[in-house]
Structure formats: C-alpha cells, structure tokens
A and B are shown apart, each in its own frame.
Chain A
Amino acid sequence: MSRSLFLSALLYGLLLAGIITLRGEIVALAIPFAVYLLYGFWNIPEALNLNIERSLSTDRADSNADVIVTLTVTNHGGDIEELLLIDHLPHHLKLCSGAPSRLIRLKKNQSYTFDYTVAGGRGAYIFETIHAAGTDMLGLITREQVIKSKNTLLVFPEVKHLKNIPIRPRKTRGFAGVIPGRVGGTGTEFFGVREYQFGDSPRMVNWHASARHEDLYSNEYQQERAADVGIVLDARVSTNHFHADHSMFNYAVTAAASLADVFLSQGNRVGLLAYGSYLDWTFPGYGKIQRERIMHALARAETGNSTVFAGLKHLSPRMFPPESQIVLVSSLTQDDLDILIELRGRGYQVMVVSPDPIRFECGLLSPSPQVDTAARIIRLERNLLIRRLERAGIRVIEWDVSIPLDHAINPALTQTRRAL
C-alpha cells in the first residue's frame, strides 16, 4: 500500500470515528493528518523530465584498475524536492569509493554532477540504466523515470611477460621474424654450406671446407621468419569449473593473453579461437591492433557448455593455415586426445599449456585419505594422457596455477629451447 493511501485511510477512519461517536476531539486528531497529506499533495512533483549522461574515465582498463564513473543530471522539468538517483552497477564490479546513488534537491533547469570509482576483474561490464525517483517533501507521491544510458567497460586480462617461446612450425611466412624458417639465408643459426657466390662477405667463407675442396665455400644461415600462430582457448565449463563454483578460467585467459602478447611481439601473425558454448574467432593479424582485438575477445570470453573439441576437426584454413603452430590453453580431458592427435597428423605443430586441474581442485578440498586416493588416480590418468600426447609430438607444458604463469612457463620453455 502506498504511503498516501495508508495515510488517507487513517484520516478517513478518524473522521468516521469522530462522526460516529460525535466526538470533536477525534475529528481534531485527524487535522494533523489532513495537514500532512495536503502539504504532501501541494508539493507533488511533475512528471520527471531528466537528462542523465554517464561517462567513464576510460572504457578499457586493466584488471582491478580504478575507473571513475561520472554522472551529470539535468532537470528539464519542474522543481524536485527529493530526487533519488540510483546507477545500477553491473554484477561483479566492485565499488572503490563514492556511491552510485544520491539523494538531492534539483530545481528546474539545474544540473548536478557526481562521481564514484569502480574496479573489477577481467570482463565486459555494461552500464545500462539509471533509476530516478522524484518525490514530494514527505515522500507521499513518487514519480519514477528509468533512463537508458549505455556504457561498456572492458577490463582486460592480466598479461604476464614471458620470454621468447620457441616454436618450430613447418611453414613460416615470408616476413622476417624470430622463428627458424628451415630455409637458408641470412640469420644467426648455422644452416649449411654452399658454394661461394660473388658478393658473399669474407666472414661467411667456410675456410675449413674451402681448404678441403680447393674451391671457396660459404656458410649459410637459417632464415628467421614470422609464423602463423593460432591460440585456442578452452572455455568449456567441464574443464574450467570445479567444486563450489571455483573456476580456473581466468588463469587460462591470463595464459592465452600472455601467449598472444609474446607471439605478437615476436612479429608473428596471431589468431584466437575461444571454444566455449560456441566458436568465437578472432582472425589472425599482426601488431598492436591485433593485440587489442585479442584482448577485447579475451575480456569478453565466457565459459560455455560444449562437450569435446569436435569443432576443431573443421578448422578453417583461413584461421589456422595448414602446417602452422597451434597453441592450446586447456586443462585437457580424455576426450581431447583423439582430436589433438588428428590435428598433429594434419601437419600442425601443437603445443598445449595446461593449467593443472588436479592441484587446483585439491587445494579447494579439505585433505582426507579419500581425496588423496582420488587425486592419485586422476593424476595417473592425466599423466598417461600427457604422455600419449607427447608421444604424438605434442608439447605439453603443465602449469600449477598457484605459481605465477611466467615463473611456471619460462623454466619449461628453457628446457624445450635446449631440446630444440
């Protein structure tokens, strides 16, 4: 029941009681209620005619960085005694200072500006509506207006700086990069010996071979080129969500962002495929603009319900050119084995960065013999899966997510670099 209706009912009740009992005092008791109601009705606000503009200090922010939200309200209607403004914060966005609601008095054509600060983890946050409620001085009659003002805040995932990642795809692109191109030319790594050609620098002459064959021979170096790298982010619920709504997905996104960053900085052509409830493609490209595109895609990435990597059987050659490098960020399930081996069989170089789900989940459970036994069994299954993948020529880097990504991956990559 509205306040004015409740008070009116009381007033009429008192008047009726006064008339029935023929007591003037009871009628007199009704007078303050009548005055109260009349005063409220006298100040009823007109229908609200507000213009509200919301602006963000930035529409792209790093994880947990402060973003200032500024609202400016202009009243194009009549005077409002009490105006309650509530800016609805998107879920999971944390309020750092100030408040998204205000109670103010706003006269005709007057403007009011206020701000507050928010921060949040990775994600796309959409500010949609602002709720305004204008009331009379006593709060008896309320006029409401919902103002649509859409702003989007993208919070990018955290990017860890990784050392150069050694990859050796069979096919490279024509542009210079850092990946050995299996073609002789200028470079730093020794590739072979060929006959001396006019114009070769004396430094290139292989004096041992020349002395043995009485002709001049020159050293040839391996050309270093850019490559196509496709990053596949596993966004399936089954591989990312665990006990009591704990999720490993943000770790996987951080890994994908860091890998994209390092591959792009090496001059490679990088694309992204987030595989959740559907395939979310970011077509391959170079440089800072591509980095921005990938970060946008990762900021928006969400988990979904897909069972296996079935969609990867039909990879678009435009997205992942044959014999290019594929980097899969996934905690892996037994179902993924066949499709990954099939990709390898189609000539792709496949590397898997696998956040360790067993350690992650064990950290969430209270220790008990049953948990230990279960963990041991699952560990055996996982080790077997990883061994099968490695036997198929797929490099698997296991990542215990309790350790920072760069600390976990760099030593593993150093070992791989030596092996290469």
Chain B
Amino acid sequence: MTVFALFLSIVISAASLAWGFFSVGLINAAIWILIIGAVWLLAAQQNWDWVSSVALLLAVIAAAFGLWLKFPPGWMFSGGLFALFAWDTNDFRRRLRLVVKDEDTRTMERRHIARISLLALAGLFLASITMLVRAQFTAEWAALLVLIVLLGLAQLVGWFGKIQ
C-alpha cells in the first residue's frame, strides 16, 4: 500500500508540474520535469532514499517558479503537494523496511496514509480555491480532482472490507 501511494504521488507530482509547464508552452521544461520524475521513480524502486529530498526541493522550486510566472496555480500546488506526500511516504517506507510486515505495521501504514491523505486533500482544497479565484478551474483540473477522490474512495472501501 505504501509503495503504491509512493509511486502514485511521484507520478501525480511530476505529471502535474509537467502539465502546468506544458500548458504555457514550455515543452522542454515539461520534458525535463518528466525525466526528473522518472529518475525519482527509479530511485524509489532502488531504495535510494536521499533522492527524494533532492526531488522535493526541485519540485518546490519548479512549483514556486511556476506560481511566480503565473502558470496555472492548481497544477503547481498539486506538484508541490504530492512531492511532499511522496517525500513523506518514502521516509515512512524507509522505516518500514527495517521491520517485518505484520498486522501492527499494516495498521500503522493505514493510519499514516489516512492522515497524510487528509493533509493532501486540504492542500488540494486550497489549490482549488486558488484556481476558482483565478478563474482557471479547467476540465483537466476537475479530472485530477475526480481521480484523486476516486482513489481515496477505493482505498477507504478496501480498508473497510479488510476491517470487516
């Protein structure tokens, strides 16, 4: 579950930033962001834990740069926020690697991801308000929100199923 959340958050972060840069015509920058995202995914798969801090720093710089240049703010927010999510999940996975998986650790995983998801939702809510204020609440942004809500719901259903 943690690994899935980690990979998904890296993908969403890189894709959001790349889409934001792509939508203003910075295609090369978007490609570079995707390459960095791919490297981050590879690092996560190889357990190169230090890469996640560098990737978070780059993602935040890219998001802040995009916000400064008035790129679509929702994508920038989403990029920064999911980078934070991925950074946190990567460190949690590092701690989990030190122990064997049992029912205790699975409960802990569920609790951790639930809490960090709440934080991400709060951030997305903030980003959505910004998009509304700036009149940039586009169909793509709506699609991202729907995707994340569906993922969250699927996760909740899965947990309740396991609990029962």
Nearest chain A residue, comparing its CB with the CB of B88: A138
0 or 1 for each of A74-89: is its CB under 8 Å from B? (1 = yes): 0000000010101000
0 or 1 for each of B90-114: is its CB under 8 Å from A? (1 = yes): 0110011011101011011001100
Nearest chain A residue, comparing its CB with the CB of B96: A103
Tell me the complex Cα distance, A6–B56, Å.
10
Asked if B6 lies at the interface with its beta carbon under 8 angstroms from chain A, I say no
Tell me the complex Cα distance, A26–B73, Å.
9
Contact of B81 among A14, A32, A99 (CB under 8 A): A32
Asked if B57 lies at the interface with its beta carbon under 8 angstroms from chain A, I say yes
Q: Is the CB of B67 within 8 A of A26?
A: yes
Asked if B33 lies at the interface with its beta carbon under 8 angstroms from chain A, I say no
Q: Is the CB of B115 within 8 A of A84?
A: no
Tell me the complex Cα distance, A25–B131, Å.
10
| A86: B residues at CB distance < 8 A | 98
Asked if B12 lies at the interface with its beta carbon under 8 angstroms from chain A, I say no
Q: Is the CB of B76 within 8 A of A99?
A: no
Tell which of B20-28, B118-126, B137-145, B155-163 binds the partner. Answer: B118-126
Q: Is the CB of A139 within 8 A of B119?
A: no
| B15: A residues at CB distance < 8 A | none
Nearest chain A residue, comparing its CB with the CB of B56: A10
| B107: A residues at CB distance < 8 A | 105
Contact of A32 among B56, B80, B95, B98 (CB under 8 A): B80
Asked if B148 lies at the interface with its beta carbon under 8 angstroms from chain A, I say no
Asked if A102 lies at the interface with its beta carbon under 8 angstroms from chain B, I say yes
| A39: B residues at CB distance < 8 A | 115, 119
Q: Is the CB of A10 within 8 A of B67?
A: no
Q: Is the CB of A29 within 8 A of B80?
A: yes
Nearest chain B residue, comparing its CB with the CB of A9: B57
Q: Which of B67, B88, B96 has the most CB of A within 10 A?
A: B67
| B96: A residues at CB distance < 8 A | 103
Contact of A103 among B67, B95, B116, B122 (CB under 8 A): B95
| A17: B residues at CB distance < 8 A | 64, 68
Contact of A29 among B53, B63, B104 (CB under 8 A): B63
Residues of A228-255 at the interface with B, using a CB-CB cut-off of 8 Å, are none
CB distance from B72 to the nearest CB of A (A): 11
Given A10-B56, A26-B68, A29-B76: A35 and B119 interface contact (C-beta under 8 Å)? yes
Q: Which of A39, A135, A137 has the most CB of B within 10 A?
A: A137
Q: Is the CB of A35 within 8 A of B64?
A: no
Contact of A21 among B68, B88, B92, B100 (CB under 8 A): B68
Tell me the complex Cα distance, A94–B96, Å.
22
Q: Is the CB of B115 within 8 A of A14?
A: no
Given A29-B63, A33-B84: A6 and B119 interface contact (C-beta under 8 Å)? no
On chain B, which size bracket covers the interface?
Answer: 35 or more
Residues of A1-18 at the interface with B, using a CB-CB cut-off of 8 Å, are 3, 6, 10, 13-14, 17
Nearest chain B residue, comparing its CB with the CB of A20: B68
| B44: A residues at CB distance < 8 A | none
Asked if B60 lies at the interface with its beta carbon under 8 angstroms from chain A, I say yes
Q: Is the CB of A29 within 8 A of B67?
A: yes
CB distance from B56 to the nearest CB of A (A): 7
Tell me the complex Cα distance, A29–B79, Å.
10
Given A25-B73, A98-B100, A103-B96: A36 and B88 interface contact (C-beta under 8 Å)? yes
Tell me the complex Cα distance, A139–B98, Å.
14
Given A28-B130, A31-B126: A102 and B77 interface contact (C-beta under 8 Å)? no
Nearest chain B residue, comparing its CB with the CB of A138: B88
| A26: B residues at CB distance < 8 A | 64, 67-68
Tell me the complex Cα distance, A6–B55, Å.
13
Tell me the complex Cα distance, A17–B63, Å.
12
Asked if A104 lies at the interface with its beta carbon under 8 angstroms from chain B, I say yes
Tell me the complex Cα distance, A105–B116, Å.
17
Residues of B41-86 at the interface with A, using a CB-CB cut-off of 8 Å, are 53, 56-57, 60, 63-64, 67-68, 73, 76-77, 80-81, 84
Q: Which of A10, A14, A29, A105 has the most CB of B within 10 A?
A: A29
Contact of B91 among A103, A104, A139 (CB under 8 A): A139
CB distance from B93 to the nearest CB of A (A): 11
Q: Is the CB of B99 within 8 A of A84?
A: yes
Contact of B53 among A6, A31, A33, A138 (CB under 8 A): A6
Q: Is the CB of A137 within 8 A of B99?
A: no
Given A23-B68, A138-B88: A103 and B99 interface contact (C-beta under 8 Å)? yes
Tell me the complex Cα distance, A24–B62, Å.
16
Going nearest first, the 6 A-B pairs with the smallest beta carbon separation are A99-B100, A32-B123, A25-B67, A103-B99, A101-B99, A26-B67
Known: A29-B60, A102-B102. 13 other contacts (CB 8 A): A3-B91, A6-B53, A10-B60, A14-B60, A29-B63, A35-B123, A102-B99, A102-B104, A103-B108, A104-B104, A104-B108, A105-B108, A138-B88
